[in-house]
Structure 1
Amino acid sequence: MPTSLLAAVRDHAAVAEFLSWPGDFDLLGADHGEPVQLASGLALEAFAGDGAGGTFFFCGDGGEERPVLYADSEGSAALLALGLPDLLRLLLTAPWWRDCPGFTAEESDARAAEYLADDPDLYTTRDAVAALLGLTLPTPAEALARLRQTATGPGRDYVLIFTPEGTPYEALIS
């Protein structure tokens, strides 16, 4: 068994494939494309990307327990999780998180229905991937509530700066 969750993602094709779609998370897409830094001065390490040019960053020093910030390609950013396990739970449970601006159960249920229409085996595959990673999953409503609480609570201290101009990214989640 891999010693880290990132190693597990790399080592299990089924895990990497599910996280790639529907999770929109790819370990090969870690180049953000523009110079950024955290306003606090904490270290910032890009480790994955998404299909729309967004980037997932670890914040600070350490391993997979570090907070995870997401920056899209349009100049918005948010702290999504307080560690890689939390991020993976979100991506496995509610990969449609970007399509739920109100973070409501109704929005989540509507998006889930769309995903299930495209892939009726979505939950079966997701549960198998979670088992491979050794993760227990929250409900989608719980995952979205935790995302919002993280982004609007501790996330206020993680401001991403476009380095050349010294300007902050917009809050992706408010």
Structure 2
Amino acid sequence: MSVMSENEALLRRIESDETLADLLVWPGDFDIGRREPVEDVFLASGMSLTPVAGDDAGGTYFLCGGADGPVLYGDSEGNGALMAADLTQAVTLIAALPYWRDLGHGWSIEEGEESLGEDHPELPEYRAELLVLLAGLGIVPPSNERLVERFRTAARRTVPDFQLQCRHDDAHGVYVSTYDPLFKDFAALGSR
């Protein structure tokens, strides 16, 4: 009898709880119904990739190296970054700071809150409901500052072992392209 990992248990819970799954889609843009990546990607290190969710812009969230591995996000534009040490940390980051990608491009938490709040005044209500559901699963986010620190730590580990690659076959033959780091300046991740 195999024991289910925490990541597997959380993923099964999201799959079986429509309210939780819907709240992760919005405001988090983490949709378990969109698991197919736009390209057939792999890691340069040879570590396994398991798609677990996608976003509405064609990006994909992957578990790396098995069920207990870190979570990698690859966008549809050929960029990728490790975002969390495991699925629990990824879902926590997405739930608490749904604009996490903007933090990687130098935004502050305040700027993220203001931008999302202007377009979606209902955000606090949705986020509160999502956080209550997660708390019922024993997932309580640390401070926003700690979430950003975890995110920055994960993103800095992207290169080289967690860089996505894609095999292409065209009239000139077969070649491999490497995704660019989603966040070019790892030192500046979330620093403002």
TM-score tier, shorter chain, comes to 0.7 to 0.9
Q: Is this contact kept in 1: 2:24–2:130, CA < 8 A?
A: no
TM-score, with normalisation over the residues of structure 1?
0.88
- Kindly state the Cα deviation for residue 122 of structure 1 after the two structures are TM-superposed: 3.0
TM-score (norm 2): 0.80
Q: Which one of the candidate residues 129, 138, 142 is aligned to 1:134?
A: 138
Matched, 1:53 2:58: yes
Q: Does 1:88 align with 2:91?
A: yes
3-state SS of paired residue (1:8): helix
Which ranges of 4 or more aligned residues in structure 1 deviate by more than 6 Å?
Answer: none
Letter of the structure 2 residue corresponding to residue 148 of structure 1:
R
User: 1:116: Cα distance to partner?
Assistant: 5.8
Unaligned runs of 5+ in 1: none
CA deviation profile, 1:102-144 (whole Å, cap 9, x unmatched): 1523323424533662334134213212223320112333222
| 1:31 corresponds to | 36
In the alignment, which residue of structure 2 is the partner of 1:105?
109
Structure 2: give runs of 5+ residues left out of the alignment: 1-5, 169-174, 185-192
Distance 1:143 1:12, change over 3 A: same
- State which drifts further: 127-136 or 68-77: 127-136
| 1:77-97 alpha-carbon deviations (Å, 9 max, x no partner) | 000111111101101110111
For the aligned residue pairs, the C-alpha RMSD in angstroms reads 2.0
Residues 81 and 147 of structure 1 are in contact (CA less than 8 Å); yes or no, is this contact kept in structure 2? yes
Structure with bigger gyration radius: 2
